Amino acid sequence: MASTEVLVNEIVSRLDKIQAERKKKLEIFKSLLRDPDIALVLSEALRTGDLGSGQVVSVDLDRESEGQGQRRQRQQGLRESIRQLAGQLPERFTIDEVTEKLKDQRFSFKRSDPEKSVRDALYKLQDGTLRVVEEGKGGKPNVYEFVKKPGKSPTG
């Protein structure tokens, strides 16, 4: 029994140290968030999903209290990322090809099923950004292409 008690005490001690380190890190993070220079970058990234480098980020703020606006922000990031794939995908493409390309670029999907997220985003991008050229039937997926607008790229 003594060895079990020693082991339990060691585990408790390690967990206390981890918790203390985590608390320190959170305090540092909070102070950084209050820094005016960082606040500007963070505000822009939350508003647009873009860090200024062309890399679109996906932000997941406290999922339990997540509001509609935050879900829209995450989906906007996905749609913008898909728009940016215009020159990297074949002329005609499927959900699977878009999903794989986004995974290759390490896009952070927030759903457990990325294909569903991409499907929803592609549906919303049928607003003039892309169109279905072949409707999927019998287990075959829809085939899409970006809409070509005179003098304009699909990303701009």
Domains of the chain: 68-146 (1.10.10.10)
How many Cβ atoms from other residues are within 10 Å of residue 74's Cβ? 20
pLDDT tens-digit series, residues 43-53: 766 766 655 54
Report the alpha-carbon distance of residue 21 to residue 25 in Å, rounded. Answer: 6
How many Cβ atoms from other residues are within 10 Å of residue 123's Cβ? 12
For the ranges 61-65, 86-90, 104-108, the lowest mean pLDDT is seen at 61-65
Exposed/middle/buried for residue 65 (C-beta within 10 Å: 0-12, 13-18, 19+): exposed
Report the alpha-carbon distance of residue 75 to residue 84 in Å, rounded. Answer: 14
Q: Which residue has the higher pLDDT, 155 or 135?
A: 135
| pTM of the predicted model over 0.75 | no
Report the alpha-carbon distance of residue 126 to residue 144 in Å, rounded. Answer: 9
Computed over every residue of the chain, the mean pLDDT equals 79
pLDDT recorded at residue 32 = 79
